[in-house]
Amino acid sequence: MSVDGWKSVLVLGGIRSGKSGYAESLVADTPVVRYVATGATDPADAEWLARIEAHRQRRPHGWHTDEVTGHPAKLIEVLSSAQPEETLLVDDLGGWVSALLDPTHQPADDRATIAELAAAVRACPARLVLVSPEAGLALVPTTPVGRAFADALGVTNQAVAEAADLVTLVVAGQPVTIKSDGTVSASAGPAAVADPAATTPAAAAAPVAAAPVAAAPVVAAPVAAVEFDADGDAGQPPAFKPGMTLPMPAEQVRATSVERLATLDQPGSGFGVLERVVGFAAATQDHATPRPWDRVRVVLLHGDHGGGVAAGDSPQESSRRAGQARSGEGPLARLAAAAGADVTVVEAPAAAPIEDGPALTADEVQAALALGWDVAQQAGLAGVQAIVVAACGAGGAGAAAAVLAATTGAEPAAILGRVAAPGKKIDDAAWMLRCAAVRDALHRTRRGTRGALDVLSQYGGGDIAVATGLLLGATANRIPVLLDGPVGVAAALVSRDLAGQARHWCLLPDHGRQPTVRHAADVLGLTPIVDLQLDLGEGTAALAALPLLRCAPTLAGALGEHPTPAGSADPVSTDTGPDRAAEDDADDTDTDEVTLFVEPDDEAQFVEPEPAGPGPASTDTTR
């Protein structure tokens, strides 16, 4: 869940502020979450039971609920026993304070117990989101119990906020960061979320008070991990087959937006190649003055390939790179943080050696497509405005070359990029093994069909199949996709054969001088915007170019029209009086004094002059 070091987040908010919904959005892309419930049930309170049931119905099926009601030590035990790979959502600390003040647990040293909770939060190895009601904004409770609750909750919030990495206050559904120990990456979760239930009856009875809060950037969206589900349960995806009907960008709006650039109040000759970016943004947003992509999600696909296509790659290294992205480390996560983008790591199914047989079964292909489609649906629900496709699996580049060779008839040796070994060396032996594996796979399937689904099954593997579903899902949600690397462009080729509209939602920031990407871009009709020659892994070039891509629609939308319309008369001379007209007439008739232009003689022949001495133009050596 963490981005650039974040592991624990405290979400504060008043009753019905949207705090619970916002907290759930932070872990929405995590397939398995331990939901730690602190609110005690009261069989005599039907309305409260209905609120708890509404919370339960809202949770995804993959989440597990732990009840820690009745004693404050239970929550501390859960946090202390959590594992590093787990994600915990505690909702909320108001219920924990209610248990802390229960007369059956008195006498008790409340501050000592609160200190134990803060220590457990600080030492918890799991990814942790805690929800708590804010302690008050104005009135002091009129009852002793209410005042005791407000005091204990205020002390608890202060202690946990000190231990947490991030603290966010949700007001009217709008999250505002009030504590950040480092650089905040991007906004996370929907702009407005609903909190279907107040967390505890005690919280509802106790008015709360808080110090003024300064506005700050919104909390960074967490890194999410999405696991491959062989059953393909992805929220009723469509039937993946050729001829899918998906939306197209507004091409007329594209032309209008580019034409509008000529009227803007700008010095120089204009936007240059960034005109294409403005047109692309306008067409995908269906607006002649497009907005920059503020909410960008990087989808990192981790799925290894077996056999020769992975020669020179290490599955252990690919797993390490995926782990780096999850923990906010490595080039991809660092650039994502700098660009204000969040990261989702998707675990794709491993692929079998293509020289021996199919990479995936037909059922696995459908499940992988459904997984990619579901990732795109989640991005659409979260308000994501653009998706960057990245991959880090062993053998992904070789599998992508096999897909290109099968779909375009290219020679494998011509499109397979060089294999970089540790120490910036080139591994030619690994490159030859990749070529051999791709050629063997093509020979093995020479009598078979090469439809889109067959290509994914025979050569593509899990990462390319998931990327294909992601592109189709993004197209269905009208989300533009920034391609960067062999896996992304291979998926674009396959998605084109399933739905021809998909490629029109793709933008290629850079080709990295990779022959696989260059060839696919030519076939898809995609022209790169920049040439950074950056080779830090898939997705990094797109993130490095993202600020430049954003500046084009920013300027296009911010600049006004030039005060002098294009095509107006020459502003240098505006004298149209009688004297000026007489001078013009004189210029028309007086041609003896000055000759401005001489019409060339069509019959005249150009003659090379004789050189002044020996040289390349002369063979006369006597001079």
Domains of the chain, with CATH numbers? 8-220 (3.40.50.300), 293-533 (3.40.50.10210)
CA-based max dimension of the chain: 122
Closest CA to 344 of 229, 225, 491: 225
Count CB-CB contacts under 10 A for residue 571: 7
The residue type found at 567 is G
Judge if the upstream peptide bond of residue 92 is cis by omega within 30 degrees of 0. yes
Question: Helix 461-476 vs helix 396-408: angle between axes, to the nearest 10 degrees?
Answer: 70
Rounded CA-CA distance 494/472 in Å is 10
| Tokens, residue 466 | 């998931």
Can you tell me the distance from the alpha carbon of 411 to that of 571, in angstroms, rounded to the nearest whole number?
59
The reported pLDDT for the residue numbered 42 is 59
The string over 500-526, giving b where at least 16 C-beta atoms fall within 10 Å of a residue's C-beta and e elsewhere, is ebbbbbbbbbbbbebbbbbbbbebbeb
Three-class SS string for 550-616?
HHHHHHHHHCCECCCCCCCCCCCCCCCCHHHHHHHHHHHHCCCCCCCCCCCCCCCCCCCCCCCCCEC
| 227 phi/psi in degrees, rounded to 5 | -95, 155
The torsion of the CA quartet 204, 209, 210, 215, rounded to 10 degrees, works out to 60
Residues 6+ apart with CB under 8 A from 278: 257, 258, 261, 271, 290, 552, 553, 556
Residues 36 and 90: beta-carbon distance below 8 Å: yes
- Which sequence positions are flagged as catalytic? 538
Strand-by-strand arrangement of the 224-226 sheet: 224-226, 341-347, 296-302, 386-391, 481-482, 506-507
**Quick one: which of 403, 399, 410, 406 has its CA closest to 446?**
406
Answer for the pair 4, 33: CB distance below 8 angstroms, yes or no: no
Are 209 and 155 in contact, with CB atoms under 8 Å apart? no
Choose among 528, 531, 530, 468: nearest CA to 496. Answer: 468
> What pLDDT is recorded for position 443?
92
Find the helix packing angle between 396-408 and 515-524, rounded to 10°: 40
Note whether 165 and 178 are within 8 A (CB).
no
Task: Report the candidate in 486, 485, 469 with the shortest Cα–Cα distance to residue 477.
Answer: 469
The reported pLDDT for the residue numbered 6 is: 63
Predicted local confidence at residue 79, as pLDDT: 92
Q: Angle formed by the axes of helices 486-498 and 396-408, to 10°?
A: 40
Task: State the Cα–Cα distance between residues 91 and 36, nearest whole angstrom.
Answer: 6
What DSSP designation does 383 have?
T
Burial of residue 546, with CB atoms counted within 10 A of its CB: 0-12 exposed, 13-18 middle, 19 or more buried: buried
Q: Whose CA is closest to 542, among 282, 297, 290, 248? A: 297
Give CA separation, 360 vs 369, 405, 483, in Å. Answer: 12, 18, 24
Q: What is the pLDDT of residue 11?
A: 93
Q: Which residues contact 184 (CB under 8 A, 6 or more apart)?
A: 166, 177, 216, 217, 218, 219, 220
CB 364 within 8 A of CB 375: no
The length of the chain, given as a count of residues: 623
Intra-chain end-to-end CA distance of the chain, in Å:
84
pLDDT value of position 579: 52
Q: Which residues of the chain have pLDDT under 70?
A: 1-6, 40-62, 103-110, 137-139, 181-236, 423-424, 565-623
Tokens of 171: 């007001």
Per-residue pLDDT at 574: 46
Q: Look at residue 389 in the predicted model and tell me its pLDDT.
A: 92
CB 516 within 8 A of CB 526: no
Q: Is 605 exposed, middle or buried (0-12, 13-18, 19+ CB in 10 A)?
A: exposed
**Side-chain half-sphere CA neighbours of 52 within 13 A:** 19
Beta carbons within 8 Å of 279's beta carbon, 6+ residues apart: 254, 255, 257, 258
Tally Cβ neighbours within 10 Å of residue 16.
15
HSE-up of residue 202 (Cα within 13 Å, Cβ side):
28
553 upstream amide cis, omega within 30 of 0: no
- Distances 540 to 276, 283, 511 between C-alpha atoms, Å: 21, 25, 12
Cross-strand bridge partners of residue 166 = 9, 180
Contact (CB, 8 A) for 117 and 156: yes
Burial of 208 (0-12, 13-18, 19+ CB in 10 A): buried
DSSP state of 179: E
Per-residue model confidence (pLDDT) at position 615:
52
